[in-house]
Amino acid sequence: FFSSFNSMQHELQNALAIKLDERLRQFTEENRAVNDVRMDLQRQLQIGAKHISEVHAKLLRYKAELLESGPELDCCILQVDEVLKIADRDKAFTCDNILVPMDILSQQLLEVEAEDRALEDLMYSLHDALRNKTIELQPFLRAIADAAHKQFKCRALASKICKTMQQQPQPGLHRPQAVRLSPERAMWDTTPPSSLAHRPAANTGFSMYPDL
């Protein structure tokens, strides 16, 4: 009897030890998974906090730049208002008088861009004509192919001009002290505030202050 009891007790102890080992292993795996999730969340929180800090710093810089450029923007708004008033009075005044290229490359880029937009309008008109059945399919395909070929050449040339302009060192452009509206008109003073009088304008290749 005692021998049988000891054998049963030993078997129960072994079975209990196996179950305890299995539960301990399961608990360890679950705990490891929870720790992995917690560490991943911690890393994401750190990345998010760093991103928020960087965005906050950028916003502060943008705010400072906006506050600094406020007087210059006010000056530009006044100039635009004056141009609009002149356009209302003078019917011969067009938008072509406002923006003029400042060098040969800018002139070429402006002409190429104008041709590209014209070809875009042409292809739109051709599609509209085909939809309205005012043009046959074969002439439409030939015209579209010709326009697309010309547009490809225009855009390739525009890309080449832009690369050339970027490679050429160009000095900063300074605002003139006045803009001539026409030979018979008086000079229109556009002098910016003293704090901005010597600040170089953006080097875009075009001037907002030509002789009109």
List, for residues 87-126, the tens digit of each pLDDT value.
Answer: 777 776 666 666 667 788 888 998 999 999 999 999 999 9
The pLDDT value given to residue 181: 34
| CA atoms of 182 and 97, how far apart (whole Å) | 11
**199 phi and psi, to 5 degrees?**
-80, 130
Q: Which residues have C-beta within 8 Å of that of residue 135, sequence separation ≥ 6? A: 126, 129, 143
| pLDDT band with cut points at 50, 70 and 90 for residue 16 | confident
The reply to whether 70 falls in a domain is no
**133-168 burial code (b ≥16 CB/10 A, e <16):** eebeeeeeeebeeebeeebeebeebbeebeeebeee
Range 126-132 average pLDDT: 94
| Averaged pLDDT score across all residues of the chain | 76
The pLDDT value given to residue 100: 67
| CA atoms of 175 and 8, how far apart (whole Å) | 102
Task: Give the residue from 170, 122, 159 showing the smallest Cα distance to 144.
Answer: 122
Q: Which pLDDT tens digit goes with each residue over 59-98?
A: 999 888 888 888 888 888 888 888 778 777 777 666 666 6
The reply to whether 168 falls in a domain is yes
The pLDDT value given to residue 80: 81
Measured in whole angstroms, the distance separating CA 122 from the mean position of its chain's CA atoms is 28
| pLDDT band with cut points at 50, 70 and 90 for residue 185 | very low
**27 phi and psi, to 5 degrees?**
-65, -40
161, pLDDT greater than 90: yes
The reply to whether 2 falls in a domain is no
The reply to whether 134 falls in a domain is yes
The reply to whether 49 falls in a domain is no
Q: Which residues have C-beta within 8 Å of that of residue 102, sequence separation ≥ 6? A: 173, 205, 206, 207
Annotate 106-171 with three-state secondary structure.
Answer: HHHHHHHHHHHHHHHHHHHHHHHHHHCCCCCHHHHHHHHHHHHHHHHHHHHHHHHHHHHHHHCCCC
The reply to whether 155 falls in a domain is yes
Query: How many domains does the chain divide into?
Result: 1
Domain range for 200 is: 99-207
Instruction: Indicate whether this model's pTM tops 0.75.
Output: no
188, pLDDT greater than 70: no
Give the percent of the chain with pLDDT over 90.
33
173, pLDDT greater than 70: no
The pLDDT value given to residue 113: 92
The reply to whether 72 falls in a domain is no
The reply to whether 150 falls in a domain is yes
